[in-house]
């Protein structure tokens, strides 16, 4: 029986790619914390992962008087809404960005470790140990 590495590792590789992309976005936000009129951006990781796995479930109007949902394509960069806007128009909240960066880094390391464990399990199966 052949091992399909793409199928065995797809979730982990997708998660690592998205986490890497989000790291770049959060780093750009932190780098521009003092830039006037800079608008902080982020990526909706959960929605993007669900979309990549074919599990996205867009909102649908069930009645004619319902407002249309503000939709975005998963993977698009979204603007953050600050709790308090700076006088110079910058929407980067440094402490929030640092917390999100740390959380993203932790999830990246977790995904990397899970992928490593998966590869180790496949190698063990291949060797017949």
Domains in the chain: boundaries: 5-127
pLDDT of residue 24: 96
CA distance 119 to 129: 14
For 31, the token pair is: 């780098």
pLDDT digits (tens, 9 = 90+) for 34-73: 999 999 999 988 888 888 777 655 556 666 666 655 555 6
Which one, of 56, 87, 83, lies nearest residue 72 by Cα? 56
Distance separating the N- and C-terminal Cα atoms of the chain: 17
The pLDDT assigned to 11 comes to: 83
The whole-number pLDDT of residue 37 equals: 94
Measured CA to CA, the distance from residue 129 to residue 122 in angstroms comes to 11
Across the chain, mean pLDDT equals 84
pTM: 0.77
Q: Is the pLDDT higher at 47 or at 32?
A: 32
pLDDT tens digits for 113-125? 998 998 898 889 8
Burial of 90 (0-12, 13-18, 19+ CB in 10 A): buried
Band (pLDDT 50/70/90 cuts) for residue 17 is very high
What confidence tier does 14 reach under pLDDT thresholds 50, 70, 90?
confident
Sequence-ordered strand ranges (E) for the chain: 41-43, 77-79
Query: Which pLDDT does position 110 carry in this prediction?
Result: 94
């Amino acid at each position: 029986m052949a091992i399909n590495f793409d199928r065995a590792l797809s979730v982990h590789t997708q998660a690592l790619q998205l986490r890497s992309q989000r790291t770049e976005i959060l780093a750009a936000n932190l780098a521009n914390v003092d830039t006037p009129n800079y608008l902080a951006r982020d990526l909706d990781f959960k929605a993007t992962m669900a979309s990549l796995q074919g599990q996205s479930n867009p909102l649908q109007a069930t009645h004619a008087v319902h407002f249309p949902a503000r939709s975005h394509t998963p993977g698009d960069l979204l603007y953050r809404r600050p709790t308090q806007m700076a006088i110079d128009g910058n929407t980067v909240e440094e402490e929030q960005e640092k917390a999100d960066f740390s959380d993203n880094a932790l999830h990246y390391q977790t995904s990397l470790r899970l992928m490593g464990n998966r590869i180790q399990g496949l190698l063990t199966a291949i060797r017949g140990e």
